[in-house]
Amino acid sequence: MPSGTTGSAERAPAHQFPLGTVLVPERRAALLDWARRVDGVVLEDDYDAEFRYDRRPVAAMQGMDPSRVVLFKSLSKTLSPALGIGWIVAPPRWTQRLHRADLVAAQPSALDQLAFAALLESGGYDRQLRSCRQRYRLRRDTLVQALAEQLPRAPVSGVAAGLHLILRLPADVDSGAVVRAAAARSLRVADLAAYHATADHADHGLVLGYGNLADNGLHEAVRRLREAIGTSR
């Protein structure tokens, strides 16, 4: 962190992981006020804000105070993590320091960068985003419908954006046992409690990612998950 800053905070205000919440305007303003008071900086990880399905995308915090917010973006979810292309939008006073940083090992190929630049200039990247949003929205809708039909006692949340959702489990179901039973059925899910620092206030549920699921396999995946839950009471 550049000298002169006395505090930092890392946030994903457009779509928090794993719960999928959005940082409301009042909290955004309070966070920026804190950064100004302590001469600090906010590191904004805008990792999947492009995939918002039921309303317009949420604006990045960086536009509210470019002097206090450092925005991080990448192509990992919109094109491919294999490209290794990302960027930083930082306050101008830090530009030279960032340029002098030793980033040789992390640099993507020049050819990939040029190809992405051409995609941007041609409008192809915007078309790619629109196509992805439509595809993932249909996939999300299919998954939510299948969960409602096969697991009516397990409500979902965090569905407005991103590539995952939260499935809340009944109180008599052991979420850790569900994860293990699902793995035995070639189904990978995550225990929501694993994302809590302590077990005292851990949420009871599962994190279900659907970004790489085949559309024609969604109902079968939910059927296997229902079986796993049934064996974990």
DSSP 97-119: HHHHS--GGGPPPHHHHHHHHHH
More confident residue, 108 or 12: 108
Per cent of the chain over pLDDT 70 is: 91
**Does 4 have pLDDT greater than 60?**
no
Q: How far from the centroid of its chain's Cα atoms is residue 112's Cα?
A: 24
More confident residue, 73 or 197: 73
List, in order of start, the domains of the chain with CATH numbers.
Answer: 8-122 (3.40.640.10), 126-230 (3.90.1150.10)
Q: What is the mean pLDDT of residues 224-232?
A: 93
In the chain, what's the furthest Cα-to-Cα distance?
Answer: 58
